[in-house]
Amino acid sequence: MKVLVPVKRVIDYNVKARVKADQTGVDLANVKMSMNPFDEIAVEEAVRLKEGKEHHAAGTAAEIVVVSIGVTQAQETIRTALAMGADRGILIQSDADLEPLAVAKLLKAVVDEEKPDLVLMGKQSIDGDNNAVGQMLAALLDWPQATFASKIEIGGGKATVTREVDGGLQTLSATLPAVVTVDLRLNTPRYASLPNIMKAKKKEIAVKAVADYGVDVAPRLKVVKVTAPATRSAGIKVADAAELVSKLKTAGAL
């Protein structure tokens, strides 16, 4: 089975995003960038499918291809995935911040070329927070989708996926090929070892241009402005529970 894992280079999870003074966006100059944390979980699961870790049979995945769409430095993100255990990478170079619809169309073109049996990807990126690309890719391919996965079992040409839903968990079964998007509890991604980081340097990354795929990536949305949310100011410290209850009663909260 061949697994395709799309990954995105985003602001590091531990960095607080700050809005630019001219309200055109978030300031990413000199900010630490990393692989989107949900994508890391997707890469980890793909590698476990290859290694036969946890409940997966060894060799469930034969080849793992990682694809990223973004600036030249997104090669570093692909390299991280290769160091975790992916086999080769594709960078579709774009300096423009493409919308989810455009990203889904590019990924569909990659799927048409690569013909994976499974696309495994993060449920959302922590910058745009759209939570849309996986579902849109599945729709464009007319494949089944299983989003927000907390457990994945592959066997008999099917993916059986336990999903995080409101109020609990849902399990569904989808015939491959399918798109599965992953949630936090699926696994804990590994840190790449030094030997694996060295090995990853020799793995292939094909660099492509958006134009190579001949898809329409024109924006549909115009960003009017980006502003900082209203900040809350710290309130008061109270001495004990009795004072708290009396304050809450006065405020009408109890």
Partner 1 sequence: MAVLVIADHDGSAVRDTTNKTVTAALAIGGDVDVLVVGSGAKAAADSAAKITGVRKVLLAESAGLGHQLAEDVEETVLALAGGYDAILSPATMDGKNFMPRLAAKLDVAPISDIVEVVSADTFVRPIYAGNALETIQSSDAKKVITVRPTGFAAAADGGSAPVETVSGVEAGKASFVGEELVKSDRPELGAAKIIVSGGRALGSSEEFHAVMEPLADKLGAAIGASRAAVDAGYAPNDYQVGQTGKVVAPALYIAIGISGAIQHLAGMKDSKIIVAINKDPDAPIFQVADYGIVGDYKTIVPELMSALG
Window 212-231: residues binding partner 1 (CB under 8 A): 219-229
Residue span 21-60 as binding mask against partner 1, x where in contact by CB under 8 A, dash where not:
-----x----------------------------------
Cα–Cα separations (whole angstroms), residue 42 to 28, 69, 95: 25, 16, 24
Shortest distance, CB of residue 54 to partner 1, whole angstroms?
Answer: 17
> Nearer Cβ to partner 1, position 71 or 184?
184
Shortest distance, CB of residue 87 to partner 1, whole angstroms?
Answer: 28
CB 44 within 8 A of CB 152: no
CB 67 within 8 A of CB 107: yes
> Nearer Cβ to partner 1, position 6 or 85?
6
Binder to partner 1 among 135, 196, 197, 199 (CB under 8 A)? 135
Neighbouring residues of 216: CB distance < 8 A, sequence distance ≥ 6: 102, 105
Residues between 9 and 28 that touch partner 1 (CB under 8 A): 11, 16-19, 26
Shortest distance, CB of residue 14 to partner 1, whole angstroms?
Answer: 8
213: tokens are 């795929």
56: tokens are 């997966």
Binder to partner 1 among 31, 96, 139, 209 (CB under 8 A)? 139
DSSP 118-177: EEEEES--TTT----HHHHHHHHHT--EEEEEEEEEEETTEEEEEEEETTEEEEEEEESS
Residue span 163-202 as binding mask against partner 1, x where in contact by CB under 8 A, dash where not:
xxxxxxxxxxxxx--x----xxx-----------------
CB atoms within 10 A of CB 76: 13
Residues between 71 and 100 that touch partner 1 (CB under 8 A): 99-100
C-alpha atoms less than 13 angstroms from C-alpha of 20 in its C-beta half-sphere: 11
Residue span 105-134 as binding mask against partner 1, x where in contact by CB under 8 A, dash where not:
---------------------xxxxxxxxx
Shortest distance, CB of residue 212 to partner 1, whole angstroms?
Answer: 21
